[in-house]
Copies of this chain bind each other. A is one copy, B any other.
Amino acid sequence: MENFEFCVPTHILFGKGQIEKLPDVINGFGKKVLLTYGGGSIKKTGLYDKIKELLADCEIFELSGIAPNPKVDSVREGVALCREHNIDVILAVGGGSVIDCSKGIASARYYEGDAWDMIATRAEITKALPIVTVLTIAATGSEADFGAVITNPDTNEKLALNGFPLFPKVSILDPEYTFSVPAKQTAAGSIDILSHLMEQYFVPASTYMNDLLVEAVMKTVVKYAPIAYKEPNNYEARGQLMWASTLADNATLCNGNQLVAFSCHGIEHELSAYYDITHGVGLAIVTPRWMEYVLSDKTAPKFARFGREIFNVQGDNDMESAKLTIKVLYDFFRSLGVPMSFGELGITSEHFEEMAHHAVEAEGLEYALLPLTSKDVKAIYEMCL
């Protein structure tokens, strides 16, 4: 069992109607609010109006149009608004992209210099504006972690940003706000959750308890993702996925494991950076290929256990079970309607060389479960074609 530090100070308000507490929550930080959101789905669902109504006595400024794989330009725009209007609190209403962008804004607001410099130089985050979130998709876990990922389309870079002040102060998690998430995004979000779990499970050393805890949440995702995919208004399915997204991401389940760089996330981030694809879709394509690539006598037992516990795969030996598991996982992703090859997304081998080089460098893949060179990553990309 490894040493660890652990603290998740985010206050979670989970369930139907928790939005009614928003005025009290916001008033705890001030009256000048930067409301951040994405493409406007919150206007269609009525959430936008509800929030404006609840916060009628606040001064609300808006940053809308935050895109998936949030771009540094949105961060810059938010920072300018925060400085101009002396914002007290950021209210992020959306999924991981909106929350991640808000984390970039909250910290860059106090950074002297350009936001991308702060991110690219990995400047220490010592101060940030308070962030309150209203989550609208179960996926990244950004609602209760201290990290964010921001993309710079000019340099094709997608880089992480971390710091204790980035934990949202309060996150409102009402599963009903995810009823309107389309099937495709429901699938991608669920795959992101499952991937977080796999990345903390396929590690050089894990504890007895953590393996069981991670399996508990994996089973939950595998049970409820297909239900939410088919029945968007199923509260139990949406609720379990939402809480799974939070637990899967914030180290609750892997404290004491020997953690290493996240292989599939690292390999995928380059896809999103170069092709702006949905993170969960990229993960679905990459993961079975990565498993195939790193399959060995050393990795087979854990892959086999994963298959046995999560998908009831029964092979004659670990290697056979592991191979079957990779296939079953592929089929599971496919059953959620996800494109399962680069070809389906129009991605060619054009940038593989530089993407692979970049993945290894930016994501520390030499410290992954199986240490990966750029040659390895390129080979995995080629398997995805």
The answer on a CB contact under 8 Å between B14 and A208 is no
Whether B209 lies near A1 (C-beta < 8 A) is no
* A56 interfacial contact with B, CB 8 Å: no
Tell which of A238-246, A287-295, A335-343 binds the partner: A238-246
Q: Which of B5, B9, B212 contacts A13 (CB 8 A)?
A: B5
Q: Which one of B13, B209, B236, B239 contacts A217 once the chains associate, using CB atoms below 8 Å?
A: B209
Q: How far is the CB of A168 from chain B (nearest CB, A)?
A: 11
One of A15-23, A264-272, A350-358, A363-371 at the interface: A15-23
Which residue from chain B places its CB closest to the CB of A17 in the assembled complex?
B3
Interface residues on chain A, number (Cβ under 8 Å): 41
**Could you mark each residue 1-31 of chain A with 1 if its beta carbon is under 8 Å from any beta carbon of chain B, else 0?**
1111111111111111110000000000000
The one of B9, B15, B209 in contact with A9, judged by C-beta atoms closer than 8 angstroms, is: B9
Bound complex: CA A15 to CA B255 (Å): 11
Residues of chain A in range 199-257 having any CB-CB distance to chain B below 8 Å: 207-209, 212-213, 215-217, 219-220, 223-224, 235-236, 239-240, 243-244, 247, 252, 255-256
* Contact partner, A213, options B12, B207, B216, B256, Cβ 8 Å: B216
Max chain B CB contacts within 10 Å: which of A9, A215, A216, A247?
A216
A175 at the binding interface (Cβ < 8 Å): yes
Q: For A2, give the chain B residue with the smallest CB separation.
A: B15
Please indicate the chain B residues that have their CB under 8 angstroms from the CB of A247 in the complex: 252
Give bound CA distance, A340 to B2, whole Å.
36
List residues of chain B with CB within 8 A of the CB of A5.
11-14
A68 to chain B, nearest CB (A): 27
- Residues of B near A4 (CB, < 8 A) are 12, 14-15
Chain B: minimal CB distance from A11 (Å)? 4
Distance of A384 Cα from B349 Cα, bound (Å): 73
Instruction: State how many angstroms separate the Cβ of A163 from the closest Cβ of chain B.
Output: 15
Contact A255 B14 (CB under 8 A): yes
| Given A15-B2, A213-B213: A223 and B239 interface contact (C-beta under 8 Å) | no
Q: Contacts A208-B220, A209-B244, A219-B212: A10 and B7 contacting too (C-beta < 8 A)?
A: yes
- Closest Cβ of chain B to A382, distance in Å, is 37
Q: Which listed residue, B12, B217, B240, touches A1 by the CB 8 Å rule?
A: B240
B209 touches A240 (CB 8 A): yes
User: Out of B8, B14, B216, which one reaches A256, CB within 8 Å?
Assistant: B14
Q: Are A217 and B208 in contact (CB under 8 A)?
A: no
- What is the CB-to-nearest-CB distance from A66 to chain B, in angstroms, rounded to a whole number? 26
Are A239 and B1 neighbours in the complex by a CB distance under 8 Å?
yes
Q: Name the residue on B nearest A216 (C-beta).
A: B212
CA distance A240 to B175 in the complex (A): 33
Residues of A with Cβ closer than 8 Å to B?
A: 1-18, 175, 207-209, 212-213, 215-217, 219-220, 223-224, 235-236, 239-240, 243-244, 247, 252, 255-256
The list of the 9 closest CB pairs from A to B, nearest first, reads A3-B15, A212-B216, A1-B239, A209-B220, A7-B11, A6-B12, A9-B9, A213-B216, A4-B14
Sample of 11 A–B contacts (CB below 8 Å): A1-B15, A4-B15, A5-B14, A6-B14, A8-B8, A209-B220, A209-B243, A212-B219, A212-B220, A213-B213, A247-B252
